[in-house]
Amino acid sequence: MDSAELLDLLGNENRRRILRLLARKPCYVTEISDYLGVSPKAVIDHLRKLEAAGLVESRTDDQRRKYYFISQNLRLEVSVSPHGFGAKSAYPARGNLDVGASCRYLKIDISTPDQTDVSDLAAELRQLDRLSNELSMAQRWVQGRLTEVMERLDEEFGAEDTRLYADLIEAVTDTPVTVTDLAEAVDAPLPVVRDALETLSEHGVVRQDGDRWRLDE
């Protein structure tokens, strides 16, 4: 399920409350119904939608009663700013992921300590909670800086298509690129990209080198 569908699914408050409850412990329909204060029929309808999305699963106990639990870890991120809107969902990375190679700008101690008893696990849990809070703060800082950079570009070019200008500048930062490749990279029509490049060239930001465009450093 893509991020847009997840947003629609989680837009319902009762479904969010169900997930909040199931994050504590697996529950029967009657338990969820009592917690929400809605009918079992309505709860079953919500659970079916959450099951279809792959967020919850059900099992039957020894008394043949069905109970529900969250089936997987999933992170949904939404970014809203004057210059862009985006949503993405991501599943947890495997423990053997080379974070050092994947996250060039983030310094994380990825060593796994020897866990000999519960106190070791508790210590790592505290460390991971702190890291989670720091990452959340880092994401807020990045979003703030992105907004400031985009506002600076607004002032520089005075254009409504600031996001396009930013994407074009980013695309030619490392290597010269043709107009066709740029149009594909920023998902914009060729004439629009050509006009934007001319504007950037007039401001001394980029220059044409043969059939390619590069930063005018």
Mean predicted confidence (pLDDT) in 8-30: 94
**Rounded to 5 degrees, what angle do the CA atoms 168, 174, 178 make?**
55
pLDDT for the residue numbered 217: 72
Torsion of CA 21, 25, 29, 34, to 10 degrees: -50
Same fold, 3-70 and 162-215: yes
Asked whether 155 and 191 are in contact (CB, 8 A), the reply is no
The rounded distance, in Å, linking the Cα atoms of 146 and 75 is 22
Give the contacts of 5 (CB within 8 A, at least 6 positions apart): 53
Q: How many beta carbons lie within 10 A of that of residue 27, not counting itself?
A: 19
The pLDDT of residue 31: 94
Mean pLDDT to the nearest integer, 176-183: 93
Predicted TM-score (pTM) above 0.85: no
Give me the architecture of the 3-70 domain, per CATH. Orthogonal Bundle (1.10)
Name the pLDDT band for 187 (thresholds 50, 70, 90).
Answer: confident
- Per-residue pLDDT of 60-88, as tens digits, reads 999 999 999 999 888 888 888 777 788 88
Residues of the chain with pLDDT > 90, as a percent, come to 42
Return mean pLDDT, the chain.
Answer: 86
**Cβ partners under 8 Å of residue 131, min gap 6:** 108
Distances (CA, A) of 138 to 38, 65, 80, 108, 131: 39, 45, 16, 13, 10
Contact 27, 21 (CB under 8 A): yes
Report whether pLDDT(101) > 70: no
**Residue 214 has what pLDDT?**
92
Strand boundaries in 82-200, DSSP class E: 84-90, 177-178
Rounded to whole angstroms, the Cα distance separating 33 from 37 reads 6
Q: 162-215 has which CATH code? A: 1.10.10.10
Tell me what the mean pLDDT of segment 154-173 comes to: 83
Mean pLDDT lowest for which of 97-101, 160-164, 192-196, 207-211?
A: 97-101
**Domain boundaries of the chain, sorted by first residue:** 3-70, 93-154, 162-215
Helical H runs in the chain? 3-10, 13-22, 29-36, 40-52, 99-102, 118-157, 162-171, 179-186, 190-202
CB 68 within 8 A of CB 26: yes
